[in-house]
């Protein structure tokens, strides 16, 4: 059995990683913007939402329908949902500055890693086109 991973699949996966990192950064930025909003509840992108999006887009396939159930009403892009388990302050807001800044930093690192790999891939393509000149 041969390797079925193509350049297009790798490029698409890197693009999805970058899109997901941007979504996580946008949610964290929204949380930070509402740091002082009374009653605001922290939102986050859930891994299950991302997985469901990948399944519905046909990116991830299963060999047996019993392994991973079909996504119910999911979309291709990750959605933000309310984060659970965070203690609210007196005003009902549960946004934690340190947690959001850490999340933004992690998302930026994921984005930069994918961007670096994608840039290296394009440099190799350019090298091949120019035949090493």
Gap between the Cα atoms of 117 and 11, Å rounded: 9
| Look-up of token digits 């964290």 | 28
Q: pLDDT value at position 81?
A: 83
Determine which of 4-8, 34-38, 46-50, 120-124 has the lowest per-residue pLDDT on average: 46-50
Residue 121 burial (C-beta neighbours within 10 Å; 0-12, 13-18, 19+): middle
- In terms of pTM, does the model score above 0.75? no
Q: Which two tokens stand for residue 93?
A: 């807001």
Gap between the Cα atoms of 56 and 74, Å rounded: 7
Q: pLDDT value at position 18?
A: 93
Per the prediction, the chain carries an average pLDDT of: 81
Q: What is the domain partition of the chain in residue ranges?
A: 7-130
Position with higher pLDDT, 19 vs 49: 19
Q: What number is the average pLDDT over the span 78-95?
A: 88
What CA–CA distances, in Å, run from 88 to 12, 28, 45, 74, 84? Answer: 39, 17, 19, 29, 10
Position with higher pLDDT, 75 vs 55: 55
């Amino acid at each position: 059995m041969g390797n079925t991973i193509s350049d297009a699949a790798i490029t698409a996966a890197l693009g999805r990683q970058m899109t997901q990192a941007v979504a996580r950064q946008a949610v964290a930025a929204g949380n930070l913007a509402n740091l002082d909003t009374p009653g605001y509840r922290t939102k986050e992108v859930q891994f299950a939402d991302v997985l469901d999006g990948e399944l519905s887009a046909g990116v991830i396939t299963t060999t047996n329908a019993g392994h991973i159930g079909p996504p119910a009403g999911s979309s291709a892009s990750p959605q933000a949902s309310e984060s659970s388990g965070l203690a609210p302050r007196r005003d009902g807001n549960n946004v934690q500055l340190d947690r959001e800044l850490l999340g933004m930093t992690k998302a930026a690192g994921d984005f930069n890693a994918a961007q670096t790999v994608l840039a290296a891939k394009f440099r190799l393509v350019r090298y091949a086109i120019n035949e090493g000149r």
